[in-house]
């Protein structure tokens, strides 16, 4: 074992396992269901940070539109849960539609009668949209700042639609399904340990799968394109193809997070597609360390924990503090907190290894 | 900026009227985007805090007008100077360290905008503030299908003035030549003895100053609140990316986007118009990523 322990594959896996185990065991220490629900929320937000880390930290594509997938997943899930509550015979139309003077169920709501189809749509539509949108962008060799602007514009456009289509989306008020999410005949109480573990399960599986993908040839090519897309193109790789696939994967992850979010909060509103939320996801990844999946998770956790536990007096200044922290990270720690950690570990391993540095 | 503010359903030619609305909308887009495009064109910096610079300009006007009784017309240069100074400080303090990392300027300025929004909220509170419209602007022009308020007319004229002044500075002064030289090739310009860093500072300050003036103008039109800036930023970006870098491009794209926006609004409604417009922009960029017009001073 030479050099920086941070880069040691075994050490990395050990840290991943330790952190995931700590998350999974949390219910045994926190018996308060509200705390558990809070942590489930952080885990879901951490999932969005993982999607950002994947596409931005490893792919070099700064997407400010992760909220599109997150929001679409969330709305799909909300529609599914709403229709689970409705009765096809006596009460087929959700209340908010009645107050918006709709007399029949809109056609786009019909598939959500079925839970499996509803879930498939909730995750499938945003994934397909990201596939299409990514293909459009990367085929035209849109890169860098322009990707950020285009994703931002797309997000603003979808926000406008969701906000405006009052009869279909309940507009500004959002949808709050009255019942828990029901699957395989059991309803999932968002404050239960089961719900929490489902979220942890998603985080673990998706993070490990992402980490695995990054170690395959695909992952290595993607990372080479982040560092020098021109050279990768000259070597004969279709940059557009790899970027589109990566972008689509990140959309899929964000959509999963949106679905879980509604399962845990039983509520969705246009805020899920606000610019602020999407940029917050980028902030989490940046503060934690965008070139580390675990870093992104930790960043999301730290910032959201900080936000929740900042006192009322403190809350006024929280945004300023967040802004300052973010500025400092961008200016001095481009690799985020994990980058700092890498530096410290590097110093430490050099000191103990003596000649082992390379 | 709401189109329905001066919507006249019973005018003779509502559609033509909406074209006129488009012009006033375009002026606002143009003013909001001008500083942004100059900063991006020269330095490659995406200034996410531009909307907040506009907001600061509006609040500066509010302070000077309400507490010090300064006339509106004098507030405009004050807002320009105030924001130019702030811009200079920000360029020296934050932007300067990030020239090698253009994407990170986007993030850093976003962090900055968080600080500015919350700072203003702490100082002035979240409730809306008003900048009084000067009495000499408080008139309406109504003839057949034209229906324009004095303030909007003033904004259209002012956009022309700002555009002309910027054109003059960029194309008719030595400083402008230097700025354009740095835009085209920083290293080459530097080897001819142009202090590129100084040009960067001046450009950023000027761009910020323009945002300040824009904010002062919007103050006369709209209520002020701390996060008003985010309402302009996406549109302003679109003007920049659609137009390509440069004065002429922004003018055209602001005009086109303003007109399209009001035409779509005429047929559907304001939010849906936004969706159609943004989607069109994304499709447009797919086929022409460099933007509409790329004049000689394009940097990438």
Q: Count other Cβ atoms within 10 Å, centred on residue A113.
A: 16
Nearest CA of chain A to the CA of B172: how many Å? 31
Mean pLDDT of the A70-88 span: 86
pLDDT for residue A312: 65
- Identify which of A141, A142, A320 has the shortest CB distance to residue B119: A320
Say yes or no: A237 contacts chain B, CB-CB below 8 A. Answer: no
pLDDT digits (tens, 9 = 90+) for B82-139: 999 999 999 998 888 888 777 788 888 988 998 999 899 888 887 888 887 777 777 7
pLDDT digits (tens, 9 = 90+) for A126-181: 999 999 989 888 887 777 778 888 888 888 888 888 887 777 777 778 888 877 87
Q: Which residues of A touch B237 (CB under 8 A)?
A: 149, 152-153
pLDDT tier for residue B146 given thresholds of 50, 70 and 90: low
Substitution target in A156, A280, A303 with the highest count of B β-carbons within 10 Å is A156
Q: Do A140 and B281 touch (CB under 8 A)?
A: no
Nearest CA of chain B to the CA of A323: how many Å? 4
Alpha-carbon distance A195 to A187, whole Å? 10
Q: Do A326 and B111 touch (CB under 8 A)?
A: yes
Question: B221 vs A355, B150, B160, CA distance in Å?
Answer: 69, 10, 18
pLDDT tier for residue B267 given thresholds of 50, 70 and 90: confident
- Interface pTM (ipTM) of the complex? 0.78
**Closest among B91, B89, B119 to B105, alpha carbons compared:** B91
DSSP-derived secondary structure for A289-324: -TT-HHHHHHHHHHHHHHHHHS-HHHHHHHHHHHHH
**Token pair for residue A247?**
């972008």
pLDDT tier for residue A21 given thresholds of 50, 70 and 90: confident
Q: Which residues of A touch B230 (CB under 8 A)?
A: 275-276
Query: Residue A183: is its pLDDT beyond 50?
Result: yes
Q: Which residues of A183-204 are buried (b: 16+ CB within 10 A; e: fewer)?
A: eeeeebebbbbebbbbbbebbb
Nearest CA of chain B to the CA of A265: how many Å? 26
Select the more confidently predicted residue: A153 or A258: A258
pLDDT for residue A232: 83
Q: Terminus-to-terminus CA distance in chain A, angstroms? A: 11
Query: Residue B204: is its pLDDT beyond 50?
Result: yes
Q: Which residues of B touch A275 (CB under 8 A)?
A: 230, 234
pLDDT tier for residue B13 given thresholds of 50, 70 and 90: low
Nearest CA of chain A to the CA of B1: how many Å? 16
Q: How many CB pairs under 8 A join A and B?
A: 124
pLDDT tier for residue A3 given thresholds of 50, 70 and 90: low
pLDDT for residue B86: 94
**How many residues are listed for chain B in this entry?**
300
**Token pair for residue A26?**
């949390």
pLDDT digits (tens, 9 = 90+) for A265-293: 888 888 888 888 898 898 889 888 888 88
DSSP β-bridge partners for residue A186: A183
Mean pLDDT of chain A: 83
pLDDT tier for residue A73 given thresholds of 50, 70 and 90: very high
Say yes or no: B272 contacts chain A, CB-CB below 8 A. Answer: yes
Q: Do A140 and B286 touch (CB under 8 A)?
A: yes
Q: Which residues of A touch B119 (CB under 8 A)?
A: 320
- Identify which of B102, B115, B286 has the shortest CB distance to residue A323: B115
Coil vs helix vs strand at A183: strand
Query: Residue A35: is its pLDDT beyond 90?
Result: no
**Token pair for residue B268?**
């559907």
- Identify which of B103, B110, B115 has the shortest CB distance to residue A324: B115
- Identify which of B111, B113, B278 has the shortest CB distance to residue A157: B278
Q: Count other Cβ atoms within 10 Å, centred on residue A319.
A: 18
Say yes or no: B228 contacts chain A, CB-CB below 8 A. Answer: no
Q: Terminus-to-terminus CA distance in chain B, angstroms? A: 32
pLDDT tier for residue A116 given thresholds of 50, 70 and 90: confident
Express as a percent the part of chain A with pLDDT over 90: 20
pLDDT for residue B143: 67
**Token pair for residue A261?**
């979010």
Nearest CA of chain B to the CA of A1: how many Å? 34
Burial of A90 (0-12, 13-18, 19+ CB in 10 A): exposed
pLDDT digits (tens, 9 = 90+) for A220-242: 888 888 888 888 888 888 888 99
Say yes or no: A157 contacts chain B, CB-CB below 8 A. Answer: yes
pLDDT for residue B209: 93
Which distant-in-sequence residues (6+ apart) come within 8 Å of A14 by Cβ? none
Query: Residue A46: is its pLDDT beyond 80?
Result: yes
pLDDT for residue A1: 45
Express as a percent the part of chain B with pLDDT over 90: 13
pLDDT for residue A313: 66
Mean pLDDT of the A32-54 span: 90
Query: Residue B6: is its pLDDT beyond 70?
Result: no
Substitution target in A323, A329, A332, A335 with the highest count of B β-carbons within 10 Å is A323
pLDDT for residue B10: 43
Nearest CA of chain A to the CA of B193: how many Å? 29
Q: Which residues of B touch A144 (CB under 8 A)?
A: 102-103
CA angle A270, A251, A198 (to 5 degrees): 80
Q: Do A146 and B289 touch (CB under 8 A)?
A: yes
pLDDT for residue A66: 92
Q: Do A156 and B278 touch (CB under 8 A)?
A: yes
pLDDT for residue B89: 94
- Measured between CA atoms, the residue of chain B closest to residue A286 is B107
Say yes or no: B242 contacts chain A, CB-CB below 8 A. Answer: no
Nearest CA of chain B to the CA of A327: how many Å? 5
pLDDT digits (tens, 9 = 90+) for B40-98: 888 888 888 999 999 999 999 999 988 888 888 888 899 999 999 999 999 998 888 88
Select the more confidently predicted residue: A257 or B24: A257
- Identify which of B107, B115, B279 has the shortest CB distance to residue A330: B107
pLDDT tier for residue B16 given thresholds of 50, 70 and 90: low
Alpha-carbon distance A36 to A95, whole Å? 31
Q: Which residues of B touch A136 (CB under 8 A)?
A: 282-283, 286
pLDDT tier for residue B9 given thresholds of 50, 70 and 90: very low
């Amino acid at each position: 074992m030479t050099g920086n322990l941070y880069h040691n594959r075994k050490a990395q896996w050990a840290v991943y396992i330790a952190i995931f185990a700590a998350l999974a065991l949390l219910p045994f220490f926190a018996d308060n269901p509200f705390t558990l629900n809070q942590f489930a929320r952080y885990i879901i937000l951490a999932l969005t940070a993982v999607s950002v880390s994947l596409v931005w930290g490893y792919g070099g594509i700064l997407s400010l539109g992760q909220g599109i997938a997150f929001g679409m997943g969330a709305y799909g899930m909300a529609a599914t849960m709403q229709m689970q509550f409705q009765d096809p015979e006596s009460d087929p139309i959700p209340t908010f539609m009645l107050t918006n003077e709709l007399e029949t169920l809109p056609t786009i709501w019909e598939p959500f009668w079925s839970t499996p189809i509803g879930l498939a749509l909730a995750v499938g539509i945003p994934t397909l949209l990201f596939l299409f949108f990514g293909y459009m962008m990367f085929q035209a060799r849109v890169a860098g700042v322009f990707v950020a602007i285009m994703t931002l514009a797309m997000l603003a456009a979808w926000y406008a639609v969701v906000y405006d289509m009052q009869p279909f989306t309940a507009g500004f008020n959002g949808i709050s399904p009255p019942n828990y999410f029901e699957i395989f005949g059991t309803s999932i109480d968002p404050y239960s340990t089961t719900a929490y573990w489902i979220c942890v399960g998603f985080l673990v599986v998706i993070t490990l799968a992402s980490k695995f993908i990054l170690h395959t040839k695909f992952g290595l090519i993607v990372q080479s394109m982040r560092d020098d897309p021109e050279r990768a193109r000259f070597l004969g790789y279709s940059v557009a193809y790899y970027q589109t696939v990566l972008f689509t994967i990140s959309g899929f992850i964000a959509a999963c997070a949106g679905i879980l979010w509604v399962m845990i909060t039983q509520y969705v509103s246009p805020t899920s597609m606000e610019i602020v939320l999407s940029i917050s996801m980028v902030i989490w990844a940046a503060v934690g360390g965008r070139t580390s999946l675990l870093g992104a998770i930790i960043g999301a956790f730290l910032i959201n924990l900080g936000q929740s536990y900042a006192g009322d007096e403190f809350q006024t200044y929280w945004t300023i503090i967040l802004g300052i922290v973010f500025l400092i990270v961008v200016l001095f720690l481009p690799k985020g907190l994990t980058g700092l950690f890498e530096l410290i570990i590097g110093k430490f391993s050099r000191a103990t290894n003596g000649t082992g540095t390379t | 900026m709401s189109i329905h503010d001066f919507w006249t359903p019973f005018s003779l030619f509502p559609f033509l009227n909406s074209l006129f609305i488009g012009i006033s909308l375009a002026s606002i887009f143009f003013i909001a985007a001008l500083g942004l495009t100059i900063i991006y064109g020269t330095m490659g910096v995406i200034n996410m805090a531009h909307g907040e610079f506009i907001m600061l300009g509006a609040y500066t006007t509010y302070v000077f007008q309400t507490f010090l009784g300064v006339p509106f017309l004098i507030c405009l240069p004050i807002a320009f100077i105030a924001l130019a100074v702030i811009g200079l400080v920000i360029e020296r303090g934050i932007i300067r360290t990030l020239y090698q990392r253009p994407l990170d300027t986007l993030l850093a300025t976003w962090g900055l905008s968080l600080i500015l929004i919350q700072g203003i909220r702490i100082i002035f509170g979240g409730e809306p503030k008003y900048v009084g419209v000067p009495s000499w602007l408080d008139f309406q022009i109504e003839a057949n299908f034209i229906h324009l308020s004095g303030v909007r007319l003033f904004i259209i004229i002012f956009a022309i003035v700002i555009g002309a002044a910027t054109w003059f500075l960029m194309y008719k002064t030595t400083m402008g030549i230097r700025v354009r030289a740095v835009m085209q090739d920083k290293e080459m310009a530097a080897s001819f003895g142009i202090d590129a860093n100084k040009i960067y500072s001046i450009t950023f300050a000027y761009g910020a100053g323009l945002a300040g003036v824009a904010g002062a103008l919007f103050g006369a039109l709209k209520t002020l609140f701390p996060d008003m800036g985010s309402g302009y930023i996406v549109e302003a970006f679109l003007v920049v990316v659609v137009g390509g870098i440069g004065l002429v491009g922004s003018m055209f794209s602001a005009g086109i986007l303003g007109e399209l926006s009001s035409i779509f609004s005429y047929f559907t409604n304001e939010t849906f118009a936004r969706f159609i417009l943004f989607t069109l922009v994304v499709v447009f960029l797919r086929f022409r990523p460099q933007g509409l017009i790329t004049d000689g001073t394009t940097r990438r």
